[in-house]
Amino acid sequence: MRQRVVIALALAAEPQLIVADEPTTALDVSIQAQIISLLKKVCKDRGAAVMLITHDMGVIAETCDRVAVLYAGRVAEIGPVHQVINHPAHPYTAGLMASIPDMDSDRERLNQIDGAMPRLNAIPQGCAFNPRCPKAFDRCRQDRPNLVQAGVTQAACWLHDGSAA
């Protein structure tokens, strides 16, 4: 109930930009749907925009037009939500998408991204994802990539700059 009250208070000011940090966390599915529906309606009626910060890929797929996937505090991939979800260009995004259980599959084990997130005070040289990346090569361990065009999306990955090893 507190979460709903805080959202109502924020919307009462009729902002043009709503920054919603995990607005559906710890809510049951029916309340989550109500919150998402409300945010969509407010955007449509008022011409407002929502910046949604969440770990819930279902909420992202249902709500967002564009998505930025972050790893170790930096954008790993950004683009239209359906493109990023269905055709990820960054190995971290691909790992995230592969780790979502597929209800049509009869696998006994879930996919996972090996290793652990780096501490923010100990981010490795080069691409922050390189120690966990199954596609890492020498340049990934030395130079930090910037966002480059990767088809429809942009990815911070050396695999897309045309000089992959």
* Predicted local distance difference test score (pLDDT) of residue 99: 86
* Predicted local distance difference test score (pLDDT) of residue 89: 97
* Predicted local distance difference test score (pLDDT) of residue 161: 85
* DSSP letter assigned to residue 94: H
User: Does pLDDT of 128 surpass 60?
Assistant: yes
User: Does pLDDT of 115 surpass 50?
Assistant: yes
Q: What is the mean pLDDT of residues 135-155?
A: 96
> Do the Cβ atoms of 127 and 133 come closer than 8 Å?
yes
Average pLDDT, the chain: 89
The pTM assigned to this predicted structure is 0.85
* DSSP letter assigned to residue 13: T
User: pLDDT-based confidence at 165, cuts 50/70/90?
Assistant: very low
> Do the Cβ atoms of 87 and 151 come closer than 8 Å?
yes
Secondary structure class of 4 (helix, strand, coil)? helix
For residues 42 and 15, give the distance between their C-alpha atoms in angstroms, rounded to a whole number. 10
pLDDT, tens digit, for every residue of 7-37?
788 888 888 998 988 888 888 888 888 888 8
> Do the Cβ atoms of 17 and 51 come closer than 8 Å?
yes
For residues 74 and 89, give the distance between their C-alpha atoms in angstroms, rounded to a whole number. 15
* Predicted local distance difference test score (pLDDT) of residue 5: 82
User: Does pLDDT of 164 surpass 70?
Assistant: no
Q: What is the mean pLDDT of residues 146-155?
A: 96
Kindly report, as residue ranges, where domains of CATH 3.40.50.300 are found in the chain. Answer: 1-64
User: Does pLDDT of 163 surpass 70?
Assistant: no
> Do the Cβ atoms of 154 and 147 come closer than 8 Å?
yes
Q: How far is CA 14 from the centre of its chain?
A: 26
pLDDT, tens digit, for every residue of 66-109?
999 999 999 999 999 999 999 999 999 999 998 887 777 776 77
Distances (CA, A) of 71 to 3, 50, 131: 27, 21, 13
- 8 or 60: which leads in pLDDT: 60
* Predicted local distance difference test score (pLDDT) of residue 131: 96
- 97 burial (CB, 10 Å; 0-12 / 13-18 / 19+) is middle
CATH class, range 1-64? alpha beta
Closest CA to 128 of 85, 75, 65: 75
Closest CA to 98 of 108, 113, 84: 113
* Predicted local distance difference test score (pLDDT) of residue 137: 96
